[in-house]
């Protein structure tokens, strides 16, 4: 049997990046991703611009030759953008990356290692399981996150510490099982993904990550209405 060349054995990490009005951070984020070294793994970037109006689109148009960029003509929300990115992703492993610099691409190695080692199908990056840097911010966000995670755990019977985390990574078979079933347009995507992971009996790990949260003045978008919507999606996704 002929020996396969190393390049033919090379795996790909698809990085799905939903973007909405992030002109101040998108270029730096892409530089940080470019600087990440993943031995024997190449990176595929799928950037979904959710009809930005602040100049983000103009920045992205200058790099269309380098990455796959989807320019949406209507703002539909993070969930819709993530699902569109999932449909385009061709990698062996897939991770969601927000464009706001709250999550560091330097975590990719730790995030996908359990997937590479075939220990699990899905990895969540937990902001509450690590001794890494973690910006102290809004107490009500912390309480809200914990309550939503507990409510989700009650229905899924998982013992997650951070259901609402952006950093969710999948192997290819796991993503293929859930991507066509996603319906949430906004931040309800987080509990919906979690419910589908549980329903499909996918093996899930958590990995502690750093977190560099930002204030509303710095551009944070999630609000109390998204928390209410998350409760609805926890109930809808687990009871339907």
In a domain, 5, yes or no: no
Q: How far apart are the first and last CA of the chain?
A: 49
In a domain, 1, yes or no: no
At residue 221, the pLDDT reads 56
Contact 167, 206 (CB under 8 A): no
Quote the CA–CA distance of 11 and 7 in Å, as a whole number: 9
In a domain, 60, yes or no: yes
Contact 79, 97 (CB under 8 A): no
At residue 220, the pLDDT reads 55
Q: Which domain holds residue 28?
A: 10-239
Q: DSSP character for 154?
A: H
In a domain, 86, yes or no: yes
pLDDT per residue rounded down to tens, the chain (240 residues): 444 444 457 899 999 999 999 999 999 999 999 999 998 999 999 999 999 999 999 999 999 999 999 999 999 999 999 999 999 999 999 999 999 999 999 999 999 999 999 999 999 999 998 767 665 555 676 787 889 999 999 999 999 999 999 999 999 999 999 999 999 988 799 999 999 999 999 999 999 999 876 454 554 556 657 678 788 889 999 998
In a domain, 2, yes or no: no
In a domain, 170, yes or no: yes
Contact 99, 23 (CB under 8 A): no
Which residue matches tokens 């795996």?
11
Number of folded domains in the chain?
A: 1
At residue 145, the pLDDT reads 81
Please state the φ and ψ torsions of residue 230, each to the nearest 5 degrees: -65, -40
In a domain, 223, yes or no: yes
Task: For residue 107, give the CATH number of its domain.
Answer: 3.90.550.10
In a domain, 160, yes or no: yes
111 sits in which H/E element: helix 108-116
CA angle 136, 224, 228 (to 5 degrees): 125
């Amino acid at each position: 049997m002929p020996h396969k060349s190393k390049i033919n054995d090379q795996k790909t990490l698809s990085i799905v990046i939903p973007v909405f009005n992030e002109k101040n951070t998108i270029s730096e984020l892409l530089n940080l991703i470019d600087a990440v070294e993943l031995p024997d793994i190449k990176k595929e970037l799928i950037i979904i611009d959710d009809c930005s109006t602040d100049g983000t689109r103009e920045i992205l148009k200058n790099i269309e030759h380098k990455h796959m960029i989807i320019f949406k003509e209507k703002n539909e929300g993070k969930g819709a953008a993530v699902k569109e990115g999932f449909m385009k992703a061709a990698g062996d492993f897939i991770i969601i990356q927000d464009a706001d610099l709250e999550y560091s691409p330097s975590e990719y190695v730790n995030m996908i290692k359990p997937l590479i080692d075939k220990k699990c199908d899905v990895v969540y990056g937990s902001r509450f399981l690590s001794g890494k840097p973690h910006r102290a911010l809004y107490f009500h966000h912390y309480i809200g996150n914990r309550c939503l995670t507990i409510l989700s755990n009650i229905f899924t019977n998982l013992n997650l510490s951070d259901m609402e985390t952006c950093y969710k990574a999948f192997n290819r078979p796991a993503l293929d099982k859930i991507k066509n079933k996603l319906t949430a347009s906004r931040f309800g995507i987080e509990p919906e993904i979690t419910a589908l992971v549980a329903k499909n009996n996918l093996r899930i790990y958590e990995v502690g990550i750093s977190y560099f949260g930002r204030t509303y003045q710095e551009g944070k978008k999630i609000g109390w209405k998204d928390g209410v919507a998350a409760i609805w999606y926890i109930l809808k996704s687990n009871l339907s």
